[in-house]
Amino acid sequence: MRDDEFIESNYTADDIELLSEMEGVRKRPGMYIGSSDGQGLHHLIWEIVDNAVDEAANGHGDTIRVTLHKDGSVSVEDEGRGVPCDIHKKSGIPAVQLIYTTLHSGGKFSAKNYNTSSGLHGVGATVTNALSEWMDITVCRDGLIRHIRFEKGGHLAVPLETIGNTRKHGTLVRFKPDPTIFTTVNFKWDTVYNHLQEKAFLLKGIRFILSDERNKLTHEFLYENGLAQYVEVLTQNKERIGDIAYFCDESSEIQIEVALCWCQKDYNKNLYSYCNTVRTSDGGTHEAGLRTGLTKAVNDWAIDNDIIKETAKLNGDDINEGLTCIISIKGPESAIQYESQTKAKLVSAQISPIVADFIATNFNHYLAERKEFALDLVKKCQASKQAREAARKAKEAARSGKAKKVDAIISDKLAAAQSKDYKNNELFIVEGDSAGGSAKSGRDRLHQAILPLRGKPLNTDNVTMEKMLQNTEFSTIIQTIGAGVGADFDVEDAKYGKIIIMTDADTDGAHIQILLLTFFYNYMKPLITNGMVYIACPPLYRVYKKSDPSHKFVYAWDDESLEEAKKKIGPGYGINRYKGLGEMNADQLAATTMNKATRQLMQVRIEDPLVVEKRISVLMGNDASQRRAWIEENIVFNEKDKFVEEVKN
Ligand code: 28G
C-alpha cells in the first residue's frame, strides 16, 4: 500500500502524528533499538517477546513460541488473552492497530499488571513494526480469529478483519525486518537461544519453544526451579562448597528471587542482577541490599558460634570471593527507578533494605540448619580476608618508598616503557624470545613495553591461587601489571592501558592466547570488562614486486585482502607467507603489528557472562575448532584502534 492511500482512507490529524512517529523510528533506529546492526536487528524480536512474556507473567498462558522462518521473518506466539481488538472510541481505530502504531501506548504499564520485561527503551512492538518490511498480527479472542497487516514500516495494508472462528486465545505476531534499515537481516540461532534461555531462567514455569525452520532446529526451555538452575549451569564445571541456596518471595509488591553458591578455586565475584527480567549490568540498590544481607547473615552466624569476634567482622569483599549469585527482583513501574534510559543501574532506594532484610533472614536460617557448610564458608571468607589484608600491607609498603625500584627488578625479560602515563602505555605479551627480541627493538619505547613468554603458560583453570602464583610466567605478569590479583586486583592501579597478546597465527599461538585469556578472566577480570585486553593480528602475507621487493610491497591479513594486494602490485609479484612472528624483522613487526597507525587489534569482550561461563568448558577442552569458535564469538575486530565491525560467526 502506498502512503497516499493510507492518508486517504484514514485521514485524521492523529494519523499524521502516528505516521511521523513511526518515520521518526525509521530515521533514527539506534535511538529505539540501540543500533541498526545485528544486535539492533535482534531487538526487533526482543520487543515482541517482551509483550508475550508480560502476558504470560501476568498469568495468561505459559507457553511462548519463537520461530525463525525460511523467508527471513520471525514469528512469536503466546497463549494469552489476545490483544484487544475493540474500537477505540475517540479515534475509531481498533485497539490492536493503535498498539502497533503508537509509541508509549498507555495502559500497558498500569500498576496492576507488572511490566515484567520491556526492552532497552520499553517502546514495544510499534518499533518492530516501523522497522519491518511487513508485519502480520493474528489474534484469537472472543471466539474469533482476527488479522491485521502492516507493510513498509507500519503502513496499514490489510485493516482488521475476522478470518474465522476459534476456541483458542492468544496472539501471533510475524514480521520481516526491513533490509533497507539493517546492515544484516540474518537472525542468529545462538543469539535468540541465549536470550530465550535467560528469560526462561528468570521466568520459572514459563515454557519457551524456539524453532529454526532454516535448518530444522528446535529447543525448549522450561526451568521449574528458575534461578537455582541458572546458578547450576553457571557453576557446572566448578567445585561447589555446599549446595545452591535458593530463596524466593513472590507475595510482596517487590518480588525477590535469589540463588547463590560459593566455589573452590574461584577468586571472582560472579554476581548478576536483574530488574523486571532485564539485566542491570551496573548493579544498584538490589545488589547493595544483597551484599548487606549476606554479610550480616554470615557475621551473625560466625559470632553466635564463637568463630569470629565482634572486632574481626567479615566485610562484603570477603564474602564475595568465589560467590556465584543471581538476584532478580520484579516490581511495578511505580516502584522502579533506573539511573538512565539504558536501565543498567537500579536506583530505587527502598529496594536496598527490602532485599537486605530478606536475605539476612533467609540466609541466617539457611546457615543455622547447615553447620558444616556454614563453617566451611566462614573459613573461606576468613582466608580471603587475610589474603586481602596481606596484599594491602604489601601495597602500602611498596607505596611508602621501596616502590620506585620495582620497575627495574620485575624481570630481566621485561623491556619497560619509559612513560609514566600509564593509561597510554601498552604491554605486549609476546610468544617466544626471538619475536620478543624483534618486538623490543621495533617498539615505541616511550609507550610500549615487551614481555616475552617462553613456552606454554600454565592452564590456570581449576588451579588454586597458590599454584598459579608459583608459576614464574604469571607472577611476572602480575608484577608487571602492578595492580594485584584475584579479589585484590584493582584495575585503577594497572600500569598499562592496553594488554596486547601477540602470538603466531597458528594453533599453538591460539592455545597461548586462550591460556592467557583464561588467566585474565580468572584473576584480572576487570581488565577484560574494561576492554583493556587485546589480541594483536600479524599479517599473513607480504606481496611484493619481484623487480623491487624492498620498496614495492603490501601486507595482507586474509585471503580476500591477499587478492587485492596481488592486483595492487600487478604482474611480477611474489608472496611471503608469514608462518610466525619470528619471520618478520623488527621493522616489519613494528610496522604491521605494533604501530598504532597501521596495526590491527582485536579487543576481547565479554558479551554475555552466562555464555562465557557456559563456554569455559569448551574453551579448556581438547577441541581446537570449538575453541576458535569461542574466540570469534567473543571478540570484536579493532582496526587501527577504531571499532569497525563484529566478526561474523
Ligand atoms: C505474540 C507476540 C506478542 C499480548 C496482550 C493482551 C492484552 C493486551 C497484549 O492489552 C492493552 C492495556 C491494559 C487493557 C489486556 C487482553 C487486557 C485484557 C490484554 C503479545 C488494555 C493491551 N485482554 N497480549 N495486550 N491493554 N501479547 N504477544 O503482544 O488495559 S499484548
In a 10 Å sphere around its CB, with 0-12 CB exposed, 13-18 middle and 19+ buried, how is residue 203 labelled?
A: buried
The confidence score (pLDDT) of residue 134 equals 98
Which pLDDT band holds residue 120 (cuts at 50, 70, 90)?
Answer: very low
- Quote the CA–CA distance of 391 and 379 in Å, as a whole number: 18
CA of 83 to the centre of ligand 1 (A): 4
Return the SS3 of 11: coil
**Ligand 1 mutation target, pool 46, 51, 64, 144, most atoms within 8 A of CB:** 51
**Cα angle: 37, vertex 605, 486; to 5 degrees:** 160
Do 339 and 282 form a contact (C-beta atoms < 8 A)? Answer: yes
The confidence score (pLDDT) of residue 616 equals 66
CA of 1 to the centre of ligand 1 (A): 27
Beta bridge partners of 155: 151
What percent of the residues of the chain are helix, what percent strand, and what percent coil, each to the nearest 5? 40, 25, 35
Which pLDDT band holds residue 132 (cuts at 50, 70, 90)?
Answer: very high
- The full DSSP string for 564-585 is HHHHHH-SSEEEEEP-SGGGS-
- Using alpha carbons, list the distances in angstroms from residue 587 to 536, 549, 581, 600: 16, 15, 12, 16
Res 237 pLDDT > 70: yes
Res 207 pLDDT > 50: yes
- Quote the CA–CA distance of 20 and 142 in Å, as a whole number: 33
**Ligand 1 mutation target, pool 46, 54, 55, most atoms within 8 A of CB:** 55
Do 592 and 598 form a contact (C-beta atoms < 8 A)? Answer: yes
Q: What are phi and psi of 48, to 5 degrees?
A: -75, -45
Do 233 and 244 form a contact (C-beta atoms < 8 A)? Answer: no
Residue with the nearest Cα to atom 7 of ligand 1? 83
Minimum-distance ligand 1 atom for the alpha carbon of 172: 1
Buried b / exposed e along 208-228 (16+ C-beta atoms within 10 A): bbbbbeeeeeeeebebebbbb
pLDDT digits (tens, 9 = 90+) for 45-65: 999 999 999 999 889 999 999
Do 590 and 601 form a contact (C-beta atoms < 8 A)? Answer: no
- Quote the CA–CA distance of 566 and 350 in Å, as a whole number: 66
More confident residue, 506 or 423: 423
Which pLDDT band holds residue 366 (cuts at 50, 70, 90)?
Answer: very high
Largest interatomic CA distance in the chain: 85
Mean pLDDT across 514-542: 94
Which pLDDT band holds residue 586 (cuts at 50, 70, 90)?
Answer: very high
Do 254 and 335 form a contact (C-beta atoms < 8 A)? Answer: yes
Give the cell for residue 269. 565475584
Return the SS3 of 210: strand
The confidence score (pLDDT) of residue 12 equals 57
Mean pLDDT across 412-419: 93
Radius of gyration of the chain (CA): 28
The chain-wide mean pLDDT, for the chain, equals: 88
- Quote the CA–CA distance of 636 and 485 in Å, as a whole number: 26
Do 320 and 387 form a contact (C-beta atoms < 8 A)? Answer: no
Do 382 and 308 form a contact (C-beta atoms < 8 A)? Answer: yes
Q: What are phi and psi of 79, to 5 degrees?
A: -120, 35
CA of 209 to the centre of ligand 1 (A): 20
pLDDT digits (tens, 9 = 90+) for 293-322: 999 999 999 999 999 999 999 999 999 999
In a 10 Å sphere around its CB, with 0-12 CB exposed, 13-18 middle and 19+ buried, how is residue 485 labelled?
A: buried
Res 648 pLDDT > 70: no
Residue (of 516, 438, 441) closest to 478 by Cα position? 516
pLDDT digits (tens, 9 = 90+) for 458-472: 999 878 888 999 999
More confident residue, 620 or 275: 275
Which pLDDT band holds residue 259 (cuts at 50, 70, 90)?
Answer: very high
More confident residue, 194 or 399: 194
The confidence score (pLDDT) of residue 171 equals 98
Please list the alpha-helical segments (H only) found in 369-506. Answer: 371-397, 403-409, 433-442, 465-470, 472-481
**Ligand 1 mutation target, pool 45, 66, 76, 81, most atoms within 8 A of CB:** 81
Res 596 pLDDT > 70: yes
What residues line ligand 1, using a CB cutoff of 6 Å? Answer: 48, 51-52, 55, 76-78, 80-81, 83-84, 99, 107-108, 110, 171-173
Beta bridge partners of 574: 544
- The Cβ-side half-sphere exposure at 164, using a 13 Å CA radius, reads 7
The confidence score (pLDDT) of residue 546 equals 94
The confidence score (pLDDT) of residue 402 equals 55
What own/partner pairs with CB < 8 Å and gap ≥ 24 does 525-530 have?
525/268, 525/489, 526/489, 526/491, 527/481, 527/491, 527/494, 527/499, 528/604, 528/605, 528/606, 529/606, 530/491
Sheet with 426-431: list strands edge to edge: 448-453, 426-431, 498-502, 533-536, 600-604, 635-639, 642-646
- Quote the CA–CA distance of 10 and 93 in Å, as a whole number: 9
Residue carrying C-alpha cell 588467566: 519
- Using alpha carbons, list the distances in angstroms from residue 125 to 54, 80, 99, 159, 437: 13, 16, 8, 17, 58
Which pLDDT band holds residue 611 (cuts at 50, 70, 90)?
Answer: confident
The confidence score (pLDDT) of residue 326 equals 97
- Quote the CA–CA distance of 325 and 93 in Å, as a whole number: 47
Is the pTM above the cut of 0.95? no
Minimum-distance ligand 1 atom for the alpha carbon of 55: 24
Give the cell for residue 315. 566485610
Do 481 and 496 form a contact (C-beta atoms < 8 A)? Answer: yes
